[in-house]
Structure 1
Amino acid sequence: MSAFAELMAYTRETQALGEIAGRLGWDQETMMPAGAAPQRGEEMAAIEAVLHARRASPEVADWLAQAEAPDATGAAQLREIKRSYDRTVKVPADLAKEIAKVTSQAQGKWAAARAAEDVAAFVPVLKEVVALKREEGQALAAGGDLYDAMVADYEHETTAAEIAAIFDAMRPGLVDLRSRVLEKPTPKGLVGEFDEAAQMQLTAKLAQAFGYDLDHGRVDKAVHPFSSGSGLDVRITTRTNKADPFNCFYSTIHEVGHAAYEQNISHDYLLTPLGRGVSMGVHESQSRIYENQIGRGEAFTTWLFAEMREVFGDFGIEDAGSFYKAVNTVHKGYIRTEADELQYNLHIMLRFDLERALMAGDLEVEDLEAAWNDRFEADFGYAVDRPSNGCLQDVHWSVGLFGYFPTYSLGNVYAGCLNQKMRGDLPGLDQELATGDTSSATGWLRENLQQFGGLRSPRDTIQNASGMVPDHAPLMSYLEEKFTRIYGL
């Protein structure tokens, strides 16, 4: 057996173990008894130790030195294996194990503190997480920028300075458009309560409408919606609220975007480094284009309006045009995951700046709540009313995902580029979407982006699909045009 074949066989086993670790995480969020958290922390630490040892094995270095790629795909596999190896060997095994243990336990403490509106209860474990992630970042950066090293885990070949430049270019236009919109009357909203079991029935129909394969996936409920898995086993979660069915439906469509990306990657790449989405920014481009440009578009909401009327009866909206405006209402609010398209990126910019300061040591955990509240009031014009609407609303920092938040807005930027190209290629798309048929749109994304998995770099993936170097201009033009029409600006 050649060095390349031996390395790929070894890597396949490592990838399979990584999927098992992911399944443990899924179970922790959906099925695990609350009292099992301490043991689950030990379990996660144990499997992380095994994974770290395999990824940092001297055998991998030997195989990489000897392996000859049989083709361009093989060369991409070697590139990704080397990138993973180089990252892994920089982080001491004991540190990787401790991070896995502490973040597993911190997740439960975050959920309890969030439910109790008690920041002080979360501060001690978050201090542990931040200290561990700073240590990891220093190891990865090897004298370079600590936060850049963290971003590279989620969007390689992108720096914090590049992200900051994009955000600085977007912020003035977003703030201006937001202020003009909020001067206008608010569109009429939904009235009444919406049965949660009925929401879940319609959410399953929505998932399938967007191409989610339930023979290789499932939909469950969780505090924080997420997607998990790859290849033949890709699971999603959503949440329900009797007063707000849009929360459920659009969380589902969003997570289906992630899941469909994973399900549609070529099975030739199954359990290899190319068999996952290439980056979180590209991943987010799929969830965002599913949720926003398609799911919140005027054509698709025509179909969704009829479906909701059939399931829930009269909910205070007279026609599809008014329903479209209700779906896209720009409103004051605190929660990132419930934010409209226009304001969402402002939520991300807040988190980006705060977590950069945390990692740089310019902001201490004890001061995080006050810093969050001050920044939120400055950006949005009103005060945070309680911690679950402020610094306790997101799970990310509890599980150590520093550097992750900016990829959400990068995903929006990428989605803007993709939507512009897709609309040009599919001039009759809206007629299909108005009947609930998303197959042309999802098929375009599958053929032009999703099937390739990690074959190309993130930027090349977007450029190959959209025909342009990633740029924020298409997103900003889309937002300006959409909300100008809705609000009669």
Structure 2
Amino acid sequence: MQAFKELMSFQRETEALAQVAGRLSWDQETMMPRGAAEQRSDELAAMEAVLHARRVAPQIGDWLSKIDAEALDPVGQAHLYHIRRAHDRATKVPARLASELARMISRAHVVWAEARADDDYAAFAPTLAEVVALRREEAQALANGGDIYDALLDDYEPGAKGSDLEAMFGALRPRLVALREAVLAKPAPKGVTGTFDEHGQMKLTRLVARSFGYDFKRGRVDKAVHPFSSGSGDDVRITTRTNALDPFGCVYSTIHEVGHASYEQNINPDYRLTPLGRGVSMGVHESQSRIYENQLGRSRAYTGWLFGQMRDTFGDFGIADEDTFYATVNMVKNGYIRTEADEVQYNLHVLLRFDLERALIKGDLPIGDLETAWNDRFEADFGYAVDRPSDGVLQDVHWSAGLFGYFPTYSLGNVYAGCLNQCLREAVPDLDDQLAQGETSAATSWLRDNLQRHGSLYEPREVIALACGGKAPSEAPLLDYLEEKFRALYDL
């Protein structure tokens, strides 16, 4: 037990340092002076070198060898599992590579942002090639001769395999394509008119965040190019973005990030600064952001309440009543941007990225051909051409950040959210009556008690099944929900 106590004390310091590194990244996205980019890359590389040294420290192996796992309770065993897993993975990656990756990714973000602003993929391609080369080197070190893409995927969704996700996504595609075609054949709902000032959008953002239980005493909202959530425990921050012509982008990116942040804020406080004190996987994390944003935030009940708040904030904005507002919020329309895509088409955006990044990592797609491959695939899937790189291959931050293996967790999160929504509705039959008053606590409490509080205590698929009364995750509830909702909306 002494070895276990020493190991956990060491691990707590490592987790605290990782939070500090995360805060540096948050600052880079929100408040850092533009001229500080080069220095920040060195700072992040230095932090990563310290963290890597701690993760591969020889004493971890010594402590692990002395601990009798059977003498620990289930929580202690879970801690041990995560520490051993992280130590095994970290020891396979050379310190030089870990530091070089951190430095390269920090620089790549700046190059990507400038290339995106200039609509110039060629300016980003050489930097992306370096990021991909480093990630492939890392994947080969981790894979031990196995599939190198799976080695990267395991960082975000432990235990998942690319081939299994390919099969799941293959089951999603036919019904999604059929629903998309049927919906787009119908007239589109009326959109909003006028302009929406930034002050009003940010005021509404904070109101909506509070309605979903986000704790501002332990968090804050700022603006960023690409909305994200950062931190855990008592310091969980979110970002959003505003567009004077589209207030929904701000509102729903906020609700989405509040889903991520609430997961982190609601984890059992006993797990703080331990391996269990964070979300178990990005797929499970995404299930929280998507169920907050879509099944709750875009429901007929909640949008009825939101309509009143919009009128109070902006006055007349071209929508006459709650039913029209509900149809507008859930409008299915052509568009290039994944984060702005409707529920029907969103997963088609993800499947495109999943296939392309697997090909990049496996070496089947040269960096120089990526833009053409993206444009060809997009036109095949959506029926029209990409107009510019910032609406296509340069729109997402993920590849500049080296997050290969991350994209498929978005669709996996949607699948998990479909399962959770089905069980939530069974557990709280009067949920819509509450949502119509802007009251989400019955839903958020159910999610907190059945999933969020566990942190990383269980495996990803295990915690979804646990919340759903033992039912294994399946894509069927998501597809059934989408078809029922949009067939009714579009009178199909």
TM-score bracket for the superposition, by shorter chain length: over 0.9
Aligned with residue 220 of structure 2, among 206, 218, 221: 218
Aligned with residue 453 of structure 1, among 440, 452, 455: 455
The reply on whether 1:209 has 2:211 as its aligned counterpart is yes
Q: Does structure 2 conserve the Cα–Cα contact (< 8 Å) formed by 1:3 and 1:68?
A: no
Aligned with residue 229 of structure 1, among 228, 231, 234: 231
Q: Does structure 2 conserve the Cα–Cα contact (< 8 Å) formed by 1:276 and 1:453?
A: yes
Residue deviations 1:288-342 (CA, integer Å, cap 9, x gap)? 0000000000000000000000111111111101100000000000000000000
Distance in 1, Cα, partners of 2:57 & 2:460 = 27
Please name the residue that 1:38 is paired with: 38
Distance in 2, Cα, partners of 1:33 & 1:126 = 23
- 2:491 maps to a residue whose letter is G
TM-score between the two structures when normalised by the length of structure 1? 1.00
The reply on whether 1:476 has 2:484 as its aligned counterpart is no
Distance in 1, Cα, partners of 2:138 & 2:62 = 25
Aligned with residue 121 of structure 1, among 120, 123, 127: 123
Please name the residue that 1:17 is paired with: 17
Q: Secondary structure at the match of 1:397?
A: coil
Could you tell me how far 1:65 is from its partner in structure 2? 1.1
Please name the residue that 1:443 is paired with: 445
**1:274-289 superposed matches below 5 A:** 274-289=276-291
Please name the residue that 2:436 is paired with: 434
Aligned with residue 365 of structure 1, among 364, 367, 373: 367
- 2:62 maps to a residue whose letter is D
**1:127-146 superposed matches below 5 A:** 127-146=129-148
Distance in 1, Cα, partners of 2:85 & 2:317 = 52
Residue deviations 1:368-403 (CA, integer Å, cap 9, x gap)? 100000000000000000000000000000010000
Residue deviations 1:254-292 (CA, integer Å, cap 9, x gap)? 000000000000000000000000000000000000000
Please name the residue that 2:467 is paired with: 465
**1:194-205 superposed matches below 5 A:** 194-205=196-207
Please name the residue that 2:491 is paired with: 488
Residue deviations 1:397-456 (CA, integer Å, cap 9, x gap)? 001000000000000000000000000000000000000000000000000000000000
Q: Does structure 2 conserve the Cα–Cα contact (< 8 Å) formed by 1:296 and 1:327?
A: yes
Could you tell me how far 1:100 is from its partner in structure 2? 0.3
Please name the residue that 1:148 is paired with: 150
Could you tell me how far 1:124 is from its partner in structure 2? 1.0
Distance in 2, Cα, partners of 1:409 & 1:323 = 26
Distance in 2, Cα, partners of 1:251 & 1:62 = 45
- 1:13 maps to a residue whose letter is E
Distance in 1, Cα, partners of 2:229 & 2:313 = 26
Please name the residue that 1:309 is paired with: 311
Instruction: Give the share of equivalent positions with the same residue, in percent.
Output: 66
CA RMSD of aligned residues (A): 0.6
Q: Secondary structure at the match of 1:153?
A: helix
Residue deviations 1:145-197 (CA, integer Å, cap 9, x gap)? 00000100000111000000000011010000000000000011101100111
Q: Secondary structure at the match of 1:273?
A: coil
Figure out how many residues of one structure are paired with residues of the other and give that number.
Answer: 489
Distance in 2, Cα, partners of 1:189 & 1:198 = 19
- 1:438 maps to a residue whose letter is T
Q: Secondary structure at the match of 2:458?
A: coil
The reply on whether 1:52 has 2:55 as its aligned counterpart is no
Could you tell me how far 1:248 is from its partner in structure 2? 0.1
Please name the residue that 2:100 is paired with: 98
Q: Secondary structure at the match of 1:454?
A: coil
Distance in 1, Cα, partners of 2:490 & 2:241 = 29
Distance in 2, Cα, partners of 1:134 & 1:237 = 30
Distance in 1, Cα, partners of 2:67 & 2:193 = 63
Distance in 1, Cα, partners of 2:291 & 2:209 = 14
Distance in 2, Cα, partners of 1:68 & 1:318 = 66
Distance in 1, Cα, partners of 2:175 & 2:346 = 13
- 1:58 maps to a residue whose letter is P
Structure 1: gaps (5+ residues): none
Please name the residue that 2:162 is paired with: 160
Q: Does structure 2 conserve the Cα–Cα contact (< 8 Å) formed by 1:254 and 1:288?
A: yes
Aligned with residue 238 of structure 1, among 236, 240, 247: 240
Q: Does structure 2 conserve the Cα–Cα contact (< 8 Å) formed by 1:151 and 1:159?
A: yes
Residue deviations 1:324-362 (CA, integer Å, cap 9, x gap)? 000000000000000000000000000000000000100
Please name the residue that 1:392 is paired with: 394
Distance in 2, Cα, partners of 1:246 & 1:235 = 20
Structure 2: gaps (5+ residues): none
Distance in 2, Cα, partners of 1:288 & 1:462 = 14
Q: Secondary structure at the match of 1:274?
A: coil
Please name the residue that 2:67 is paired with: 67
Q: Does structure 2 conserve the Cα–Cα contact (< 8 Å) formed by 1:274 and 1:453?
A: yes
- 1:23 maps to a residue whose letter is R
Runs of 4+ in structure 1 off by over 2 angstroms are: none
Q: Secondary structure at the match of 1:236?
A: strand
Distance in 1, Cα, partners of 2:195 & 2:449 = 40
Distance in 1, Cα, partners of 2:463 & 2:44 = 32
Please name the residue that 1:407 is paired with: 409
Residue deviations 1:46-105 (CA, integer Å, cap 9, x gap)? 000010010011111111111235311000000000110111011111001000000000
- 1:155 maps to a residue whose letter is E
Residue deviations 1:113-141 (CA, integer Å, cap 9, x gap)? 00111111101110100000010010011
Q: Bigger CA drift: 455-464 or 69-78?
A: 69-78
Distance in 2, Cα, partners of 1:329 & 1:306 = 19
Please name the residue that 2:273 is paired with: 271
Could you tell me how far 1:466 is from its partner in structure 2? 1.3
Aligned with residue 80 of structure 1, among 59, 76, 82: 82
